[in-house]
Structure 1
Amino acid sequence: MLEAGSKQNIVQLERLDEVFDSIGVKPDPRNDPAMQGICDLNEAEIAKHGDAADRDLINIEYGQVAAHFYIARYGTLRRTAHALGHAKAVKLLDRTLVETRAIDCAFTQLYDHLLSRRTSSRYPGETALATTAAMHPGLTVGLALGGVLAAAALVKAGRSKRR
């Protein structure tokens, strides 16, 4: 899941570059304090738990928090692009939203699976993930280009397009 997620993150980052190109704005990438907060909370929770199975569940939980964060960001950007008539940006952001929602569903299924295995008498104390880091939402911090900045860029491009 880590390898697939990493590849998808790269594709989504490239797609965001296409979004910016399509509206004629240069992106200003930076770490997002909100996403950093999610990562910090995850790390704090992980530090409280020595059991790998507990850490797996915590990492999945915070992975979903990160996915929901991105769904909100991409959704807002998509609506802004639509309102301003940036059809190509809308199409690109739609694709990213579909992928991010699929990630959220995968997290839910994995969490449910691990939780049921963990609570099953057949697999006491088993951790089904090979590594906790595989689910760490910190991997997505690099993608946080700042939805507010991106929305502002879309608005600016929309204004110049209408002139």
Structure 2
Amino acid sequence: MTLLSTRLLPSITAMAVIVIASNILVQVPFTPFGLGDVLTYGAFTYPFAFLVTDLTNRWYGPAKTRQVVYVGFAVAVVLSLVLADARIALASGTAFLTAQLVDVTVFNRLREGSWWRAPLVSSSLGSALDTAVFFSLAFVGTDVPWVTLALGDFAVKMAMALVSLVPYAGLMNAMKPSGALAR
């Protein structure tokens, strides 16, 4: 394993843990404040996948970030098939891969602008896509109130995209970008 690929292990590990946790937690209604029909606990964990993607993109560029997405996707889907419902795991994998690759592309196009624009816009677009794909694949045709859950999930993802700007700002300069960023 090269030094650079070894450096990607924390991102890959974080990505897999976030997705697996989210796949388990999306099956658990968020009952405080009577929100069980509108929200699941997975809405609070999954947005951190966008933070991992955006920081990895900032530090290593889009080519290495795509590697993190692909490996994180593979690990998370395999483990989710064991730890979560198969329909959830497959819907999650499809939504994750689509949304994260959109996030990488949009972030990279906006990376030279204001420090907050790339992570906020890419996470917002990725979150919208992830929500639409995941909830429609995971719950359509079931008695789960998936449209209201999707709306609640998306609202939390938007709030988390804003909140995630704080750790993003603190961590984005923790490591210097590695040389010329490969596209």
Q: TM-score, normalised by structure 1?
A: 0.41
